[in-house]
Amino acid sequence: MSAYGETVAGGKYLKVRNSNKVVVFFIGGAADKTSYGIIFGPDQNILPAKKNLENKILNRVDYNSYYLGFEEVYDVPSQTNRVEENVLQNLDKNSSIYIVGHSLGGWNGAHLSQILSDKGYNVEMLITLDPVGEGLLVYVGSSIYKNKPHPKSKFWINILADPSTPDGTDDVAEFGVRWKVSSGPNINVKMDINHWNARKMFETIIKDKKSCLNYLYDNIKLKI
């Protein structure tokens, strides 16, 4: 039997995740959740960020988070319903929504913030970690939106990776063309970090002795 969002098993109440009060989407980039081409990934670069937030939230019944690939939030009009299948079915209009996107996932995640806001959903925070997507060639070969995003969220943090010692992942990011955001974010910072390291971008202090993780967690605490 169940009551008040909890399930009885063996005479004890066990917490179950059955509320969409707070929903966080972690959206990976190329070769993150699935392979990219025939030789790259999956590398799961954004997954440690998701796990670190969940370690702070613990097993709250009013919190859910989802790990998606950038292609899973890309819709082709009249052809696909990926946003409906992977995002909307996990929400209701009372949900407080948070989006964390890395690389191509930052680009598509920014688009997702606009899509959800235009549909009347409440996007509390958008975090874009070294977003990539302005290159024509990467658009042709990837499931990303062609036009530059116009994010819609109550608070937006953008991180631009600007490493002093670039590696191969930075070469890939430059090929895809980093989205160098000049205006819009509430916090917009550069970091001496390689492109692949979404976890470090997420956890490095950026302002007021707080990281993206801290800003996200502190905001979520107000909701649950």
Which one has a higher pLDDT value, 12 or 218? 218
CB atoms within 10 A of CB 144: 25
Which amino acid makes up residue 13?
Y
| Tens digit of each residue's pLDDT (9 = 90 or more) over 57-114 | 987 888 999 999 999 999 987 788 999 999 999 999 999 999 999 999 999 999 999 9
**H-type helices in 66-223, by residue range?**
82-86, 104-118, 136-141, 168-176, 198-203, 212-221
Which architecture does CATH list for 19-221?
A: 3-Layer(aba) Sandwich (3.40)
Chain Cα centroid distance, residue 120: 19
Chain Cα centroid distance, residue 68: 8
Residue with tokens 């998606």: 68
pLDDT number for residue 20: 83
Where exactly are the structural domains of the chain?
19-221
**DSSP-assigned letter for residue 173:** H
What is the average pLDDT across 191-212? Answer: 98
Between CA 138 and CA 132 the distance in angstroms is: 9
Backbone angles phi, psi at 69, to 5 degrees: -85, 155
What is the average pLDDT across 184-206? Answer: 98
Between CA 122 and CA 152 the distance in angstroms is: 10
ω into 149 cis (within 30 of 0): no
Q: Is the pTM of this model over 0.85?
A: yes
Q: Which residues fall within 8 angstroms of residue 222, CB to CB, at 6 or more apart? A: none
| Tens digit of each residue's pLDDT (9 = 90 or more) over 42-60 | 899 999 999 999 999 987 8
